Amino acid sequence: MKPRSTAVPIASDLAPAYAGLELLSTAVLVIDAEGRVRWVNQAAEAMLDLSRRIVQGQLARGLFAEPRVIDGLLVESSAGAFGMRRQAMLLRRPLREPLQVQVIATALYLDETPLLLELSAIEQQLKLSREERQLDLSEASRRLMRNLAHEIKNPLGGIRGAAQLLETELRTREEREYTGVIIAEADRLQTLVDRVLASHRAPRVVADLNIHEVCERVRSVIMAEYPNGLLIERDYDASVPELRGDREQLIQALLNVVRNAAQALQARIASGDACVQLRTRVAQQVTMIRRPCRLALDLRVIDNGPGIPEELKERVFDPLVSGREGGSGLGLSLAQEFIHQNGGTIDFESVPGRTDFRILLPLR
Ligand SMILES: Nc1ncnc2c1ncn2[C@@H]1O[C@H](COP(=O)(O)OP(=O)(O)O)[C@@H](O)[C@H]1O
Ligand SMILES: [Mg+2]
């Protein structure tokens, strides 16, 4: 198809008709009978990294590494030969590296604009399903944990009581050391079990809250725990609006993440160049588990520690998974649960020297 020399009518008149598509996090391109892009949504602009002024009017075939596929779809959709098709394609982006995308082509049965393309990055799809899988998994394992904790709690009291009775019968210190071990271990388990159960007992209190107050609370707690050698840098975006959520839950969640960072920084704290950064931003058009979100808070906890060990990466959010001597492995599991309860997601990227936990929470 040869490009036309005259200016292509850009579809500002189409904007009202497609306004609803602006809400999607999937990139949408509407193609006219000549194969030109007539309209794109914001998500498509972001994916192509081009403004719609530039994209609209271009030949759609030029955007892909497989132009013939687009030609074929166009001919067939104009002829009403299919309803919907799916295909993996490579999106060419003039300003950035090409992107593997899943394309869903829908025939619109309109003479002017016969074809609609929906594009989603394949990498993002993979990530989403991993997050969903993890959500299901962690719900199942948390339920198991709760039940187990209940089962352990009662006999534990009995074991401790019996050991105490036995202790009064024992004469030598050596003998009493054994009962001492039983009692100390029973107490340790008791604390663990209480922590598992307590996290599910507190009623949720949802109200408007300022995320920077939450950050400041967490910052002061950690500063008190690590008075020397740890820098907690703030990089707050003052334009972040209030969000609705449970303040105590969010404090606990953030505290767990920041405390992990501080613990991972032990060596750097000793040498005096440990740094944890708390960063807030407003993010637009993000996809949280199972739904797109127009406006979200993007809260980062970034540390310059050694990174999360490779063998733990897939499991750090699972309960009882710990890479620390004496760790309970409950911190991130609980943080994740609280973030989910507040409608958000938590994720991380970690390489030696930089671990970046990203918490997304919906804003109204
Ligand atoms: N910022 C971090 N840097 C390095 N490792 C981390 C970081 N955050 C978490 N981890 C790893 O994830 C594990 C699990 O964390 P968590 O669920 O809080 O349990 P715990 O702190 O009791 O071990 C930690 O033991 C640690 O190995
Ligand atoms: Mg922890």
In Å, what is the CA distance from 205 to each residue of 133, 253, 254, 341, 342?
Answer: 28, 15, 17, 11, 11
- pLDDT at position 289, please? 66
Report pLDDT digits (tens) over 170-181: 999 988 999 998
**Average confidence (pLDDT) over 189-209:** 80
What is the band of 7 on the pLDDT scale with cuts at 50, 70, 90?
A: very low
- pLDDT at position 123, please? 73
Structural fold of domain 12-123 = Beta-Lactamase (3.30.450)
334 CA closest ligand 1 atom index = 17
CATH 3.30.70.2190 describes domain 204-364: no
Q: What are the domain boundaries of the chain? A: 12-123, 204-364
355 CA closest ligand 1 atom index = 1
Ligand 1 midpoint to CA 328 (Å): 10
Closest Cα to atom 19, ligand 1: which residue?
329
The answer to whether the 12-123 and 204-364 domains have the same CATH topology is no
Q: Is the pLDDT of residue 30 over 90?
A: yes
**Average confidence (pLDDT) over 84-99:** 88
Q: Is the CB of 353 under 6 A from ligand 1?
A: no
Residues 6+ positions from 61 with CB-CB distance below 8 Å: 1, 35, 67, 68, 70, 71
- The average confidence (pLDDT) of the chain is 87
Q: Is the CB of 308 under 6 A from ligand 1?
A: yes
Report pLDDT digits (tens) over 131-190: 777 777 667 777 787 888 888 888 899 999 999 999 999 999 988 999 998 998 899 888
Ligand 2 midpoint to CA 361 (Å): 21
- 300 vs 136: which has the higher pLDDT: 300
**Average confidence (pLDDT) over 206-227:** 93
Q: How far apart are alpha carbons 56 and 51 in whole angstroms?
A: 9
